[in-house]
Amino acid sequence: MALLEIRNLSVDFATASGAFRAVDGADVAVDASDVLAIVGESGSGKSVSMLALMGLLPWTATVTADRMMFDGQDLRAISPRQRRRIVGKDMAMIFQEPMSSLNPCFTVGFQIKEILRIHLGLNRHDRHARAIELFEMVGIPAPEQRLGAFPHQMSGGMCQRVMIAMAISCAPKLLIADEPTTALDVTIQAQILDLLTELQKDTGMALILITHDMGVVAETAERVSVHYAGQKVEEQGVLDLFKAPHHPYTAALLAALPERATARRLPTIPGVVPGQFDRPDGCLFSPRCAFADDLCRAVPPGQAPATLGLALCHYPLGALA
């Protein structure tokens, strides 16, 4: 049985100008010790779907799903109190901006020990020992002294290490990393990605990596799910996705990478992601798609079989060959 299974997840935000659908029928399934990358541009709903899973969305959001199971528990049915026992313990999240996700008023030691006290009920001495152990695991030098530091006294890379230490402090079964390295420099990014993959291997936790960087995906993930305008448009193993993308959006996205360029001018995707008021009737990608015809513009496509990467497309690439 899958560790996490979400079917047909939709998130609507009530805005002053009407309802806005940020996530539109997305499916996510993760097994224990799986590494899944969710790729998409801004506005593709990749972060919102994970926040919905964690129950961290504001009251303006309406979350609906046919199925939302985590580790045998139905997340739609449990009370907020029960959910808080899971979130942060079995299911933890790392955010993009390490500096702004830590509380500037408390030392990092206080913040990590708070988790250990509330979720694990450790006593003062054990909390201190465990916090030092965790800081050592994530490679923070001189952990004992660093426990007394405030977030502003540390660099971005160090803050992200503290965030990771906090996230893995209760040995979660699932770790969600939302753009964990976007705010960091390349050499620090390499350190953090190595740390995350090592921790994943050592502890056997499942890892969901949300990112927009195809390079990070290629180096870290085992499976990739591509999101566009709130929908999952394709899901494949990482090798197959880069070799033979089936959805035209994935193909266009890979072709637009500067490092894959063959000429001075890059292939582009015309237009922009549809917003609240210009969502097309048929396939959401049809206005920008090079292969779209009248059928695409009128009828929303169904999901292709798994051999075609579950592509949400009338004419998945590679189907004719």
Partner 1 sequence: MTGPGPMPVRAQEPELGPESGPELGKKPGPVLVARALSRHYDVRSGLFGAPKVVRALSDASFTLDAGKTLAVVGESGCGKSTLARLITMIEPPTSGSFAIGGIEATPATLRTLRTSVQIVFQDPYGSLNPRQRVGAMLEEPLKINRPALDAAARTARARDMLRLVGLREEHFERYAHMFSGGQRQRIAVARALMLEPKVLVLDEPVSALDLSIQSQILNLLVDLQERLGLAYLFISHDLSVVRHMADDVVVMYLGRPVEIGPRDAVFAAPRHPYTKALLSATPVADPTAAKTRIKLEGELPSPLSIPPGCPFAPRCWKAQARCREARPELEGDTHRAACFFPEG
Which residues of the shown chain bind partner 1 in the complex (CB under 8 A)?
Answer: 41-42, 155, 157-158, 185-191, 193-194, 212-219, 238-239, 242, 252-254, 256-261, 264-270, 272-273, 288
78 or 218: CB nearest partner 1 = 218
- CA 111, distance to chain mean position in Å, is 23
Cα angle 228, 75, 173 (rounded to 5 degrees) comes to: 80
Question: Toward partner 1, which CB reaches closer, 71 or 213?
Answer: 213
Contact between 234 and 250 under an 8 Å Cβ cutoff? The reply is yes
To the nearest whole angstrom, how small is the minimum distance from the Cβ of residue 292 to partner 1? 16
Q: How far is the CB of 269 from partner 1 (least distance, A)?
A: 4
Rounded least distance, CB 308 to partner 1, Å: 19
Nearest approach in angstroms of CB 69 to partner 1 is: 30
The Cα angle at residue 30 between residues 29 and 34, in degrees rounded to 5: 150
Nearer to partner 1, 42 or 123 (CB): 42
Nearer to partner 1, 61 or 269 (CB): 269
Nearest to 250 by CA among 40, 43, 24, 47: 40
**Alpha carbon 255 to its chain's center:** 23
Cβ-Cβ contacts under 8 Å for 57 (sequence gap 6 or more):
11, 48, 51, 63
207 in Cβ contact with 195 (< 8 Å):
no
Our CB check for partner 1 shows the closer of 8 and 155 to be 155
Shortest gap between Cβ of 187 and partner 1 (angstroms)? Answer: 5
